[in-house]
Amino acid sequence: MKATLWAASYVNRTVMAGPLGLRTWNPGGTDVPPDGRVFFPDWPRFTRADRASRFVLAASTLLPPLPGDPSRVAVILGSRTGCLDADRAFTASLGDRPLPATYARTLPSTAGAELAILRGLRGPNFTLVQEAAPDLLAVAAAVQELEAGRCDAAIAGAYDAVEGADGSGWACLLLLGRGSVPDAPSLTVTRTPTQDAESPRDGSPLIDLVEFLYDPATPPERRWSAVGAGSRLELAVERKRGAP
């Protein structure tokens, strides 16, 4: 399964704390001001959003304007923790007075839904919650949607945001499309059934991918692999020779 990688972004918890913690690969796209204000949409829902949604929305501000029909742009995310942070907040409120606003966020799909509302997107939208390889599973699902013709572009990525956990917040998003684009890297996902044990890991191959794109000194091709949901997944990205 193949797609074209148009742009990518990554933000971590230091963005929310003040100093920038980010990587973005977006040739000719968003400039990052020194104060980092680009990460915080001037949008009332942002201040009310749960932590996971804030990271996803912050990462989305680094992506370029989305092409074409909004009903043909998919949002497909993966996460190890899903809405666990919101679940804990709602459970804690039950001893006093339940908070309806908190309950509304206790769905793993909340971050993807908030992103779709912010960008006005109406294409396929779902979130995969999986201990092992949720990021690669999300990218594989996005490429499958593209190849099946159910969308023309897709925001695919992963996030985790749990208060107090090690590396307690980050989001990484890829903007994928169909067809060849000058200087844009090609992305290939291979998914094969396997009986091998799953391979949960800290962080995400997608973060490594953005670092790879960000550094022109790296080799032109890079591969990542993991096992999850009964499949061995391999992600390969090839940068065009001479491209930034």
Write the CATH number for 221.
Answer: 3.40.47.10
Q: Which two tokens stand for residue 186?
A: 């090609």
Of residues 163 and 183, which shows the higher confidence score?
183
Of residues 107 and 27, which shows the higher confidence score?
107
Q: Is residue 35 part of a domain?
A: yes
Q: What is the pLDDT of residue 214?
A: 74
Of residues 142 and 165, which shows the higher confidence score?
142
Q: Is residue 244 part of a domain?
A: no
Average pLDDT over residues 186-190: 89
Average pLDDT over residues 1-5: 87
3-class DSSP state for residue 230?
A: coil
Beta bridge partners of 172: 10, 158
Q: Is residue 29 pLDDT above 50, yes or no?
A: no
Q: 24 and 10 in contact (C-beta within 8 Å)? A: yes
Number of folded domains in the chain? 1
Q: Is residue 243 part of a domain?
A: no
Window from 11-25, 63-77, 106-120, 166-180 with minimum mean pLDDT? 11-25
**Alpha-carbon distances of 160 from 17, 20, 116, 129, 242, rounded to whole Å:** 16, 18, 18, 10, 34
Q: What is the pLDDT of residue 21?
A: 44
Q: Is residue 142 pLDDT above 90, yes or no?
A: yes
Q: What is the pLDDT of residue 81?
A: 83
Q: Which domain holds residue 170?
A: 2-238
State how beta strands 153-161 and 186-193 pair: unpaired
Task: Render pLDDT for 81-90 as a digit per residue (tens, 0 to 9).
Answer: 887 777 777 7
Report pTM: 0.83
Angle at 170 between CA 61 and CA 126, to 5 degrees: 75
Q: What is the pLDDT of residue 34?
A: 42
Q: What is the pLDDT of residue 85?
A: 75
Q: Which two tokens stand for residue 192?
A: 């094969």
**Please, where are the H alpha helices in the chain?**
13-17, 44-48, 51-60, 84-93, 100-103, 110-119, 134-147, 205-214
